[in-house]
Amino acid sequence: MDELYNYILSTGVIIPDTSIILGDVTGEYQQTFGMDLVTTPDTPQGLLIISETAARSAVAENNAALANQINPNYSGGVFLDALLDLTGSERIASTPSTVTATLTGVSGTVIAQGAQASDSVYNNVFATTTDVTIVDGTATVVMNSVVDGPIAAGAGTLTQILSDIPGWETITNEYAATPGTVTQSDEQARFLRRVTLAAQGLSTAEAIVSALYLTTGVTSLSFLENVSSEIQTIDGVLMVPHSIYACVNGGTDLDVATTMQSKKSSGSAYNNGASMTPISQDVTVPFSGQVIDVLFDRPDIIDIGVTVSIYVTQPVQDPTVAVQTAILNYAAGLISGLDGLIVGANVSPWELGGAITTLYPGIYVQNLEIKNITDAGSYQYTEIEIAPWEIANIAQSAIVVTVL
């Protein structure tokens, strides 16, 4: 018996098959109450056996889950935060959505910081970020959503005043709110850790990529280098001798350029122009005062359409929304073990189908095809290739679901 419940061994944590535990518990009951004891689930003793089996299985699973918290590929929560800290990184915190609002009312009226209004479509609440005084009947102020994340407020919809402030008469917004972000998930944080392991290094491709991923706002990138003394075309990118190429999604031009300049080898050249949005950014070297023109690309967006036919084998509240949610989660890198749609990553119909069944095992994917909307392509079962200067994008409206 002692050996049976020693689940933590030098080789790792053991999770016994539930049927084995059930057999062990049944044997214990029969040894205690007699071998002729009826142990079927429709008897009181059978229910007790099942309950004890479930409890012992839960302990083994808990042990395994806890042991895996030291493994950065499986850990989560505060355990993963501690592992990220070992390499000088941390998960990206949530941010609010922001919108610039125009207020009208009696001149001299002070709208205090924290005054609230909501949009007329979703009733999402926004609050002023500073005190503002209405002058000549109008004022402009930046407002943040009171809840972090991509909180919607379409152009002209922020019209409902919630705070009772005498003299404040109307509010509106000329432009839609800029979406905020949610706290980085465990899956996204694990990806961040994998691509920033060399953040303390210099010169190597891995060190440059790691530093770029730690640059504020950067979500994904591709990186190439030409180590030869001749002009070469590498993965479709024309590169001058002894040079590097980066296509970076997110972050400010100055932040990205500063990171590249600080991490690359001295004297190596830059490239850009493969994409439709080449960047040329001057960076002042802090040690020499020299101004360096850093070149890189911003990715071209390739819009992808998806058509999928499914059978629902287990009840799902809304199969269409479920399928769309699974695909969008995959695209955002929210499924464990899958990077999602990052710069230079091909789009695979098989991975999209796998994302659906991973999140919703009760949905059977009979058919799934994809197409390049940007180039007016036709639907296909094969991968769509994405160049190093491109990034695929899938909008919810581009996912057509047929429930059979």
Of residues 61 and 231, the one with the higher pLDDT is 231
Cross-strand partners of 102: 140, 172
Lowest mean pLDDT among 82-91, 114-123, 135-144, 269-278: 82-91
Tokens of 265: 């080898």
Both structure tokens of 322: 């479920």
Within 8 A by CB and 6+ apart from 266, the residues are none
pLDDT value of position 1: 41
Question: Quick one: pLDDT at residue 5?
Answer: 60
Mean pLDDT taken over the chain? 89
- Greater pLDDT, 206 or 258: 258
Residues 285, 310, single domain; the answer is no
Per-residue burial over 180-218, b if 16 or more Cβ lie within 10 Å, else e, is: bbbebbbbbbbbbbebbebbeeeeebebbbbbbbbbeeb
Taking residues 256-273, what's their average pLDDT?
A: 90
Is residue 290 a part of any domain in this protein? yes
Question: What totals of helices (H) and strands (E) does the chain contain, helices first?
Answer: 8, 21
Quote the pLDDT of residue 191: 81
Is 337 a residue whose pLDDT tops 80?
no
Q: What is the pLDDT of residue 4?
A: 56
Quick: pLDDT tens for 71-98: 888 888 888 888 888 877 778 788 899 9
Residue 7: pLDDT over 70:
no
Task: For residues 20 and 38, state if they share a domain.
Answer: yes
- Higher-confidence residue of 299 and 206: namely 299
- Please count the structural domains in the chain: 4
H or E stretch including 233?
strand 232-234
Domain membership flag for residue 2:
no
Q: Are residues 271 and 312 in the same domain?
A: no
Decide: 328 and 396 in contact? Cβ < 8 Å.
yes
Structural domain includes residue 42: yes
What is the identity of the amino acid at 174?
A: E
CA distance 128 to 114: 5
Residue at 44 is within a domain: yes
Report the relative pairing of strands 132-133 and 110-111 from DSSP bridges: antiparallel
Domain containing 335: what range? 302-403
For the stretch 144-174, pLDDT in tens is 999 998 888 888 999 999 999 999 999 999 9
pLDDT of residue 288: 82
Predicted confidence (pLDDT) per residue in 367-389, tens digit: 999 999 988 889 999 999 999 99
Cα 193 to Cα 214: distance, rounded to the nearest angstrom: 10
60 and 104 share one domain? no
Model confidence over 341-356: pLDDT tens digits?
A: 999 999 999 999 999 9
Please indicate, yes or no, if residue 76 is contained in any of the structural domains.
no
Residue 230 pLDDT greater than 90, yes or no? yes
- The closest alpha carbon to 179, from 118, 63, 96, 271, belongs to 96
Per-residue pLDDT reduced to its tens digit, 251-263: 999 999 999 999 8
Percent of the chain with pLDDT over 70: 97
394 — pLDDT class (breaks 50, 70, 90):
very high
Q: Does 257 lie in the same domain as 218? A: yes
The whole-number pLDDT of residue 2 equals 42
| Residue 81 domain flag | no
User: Is residue 189 over pLDDT 60?
Assistant: yes
Residue 288 in domain: yes
Q: Which of 228, 298, 221, 300 is nearest to 263 (CA)?
A: 221
**Global pTM?**
0.66
> Which residue in the block uniquely carries the two structure tokens 């009951």?
29
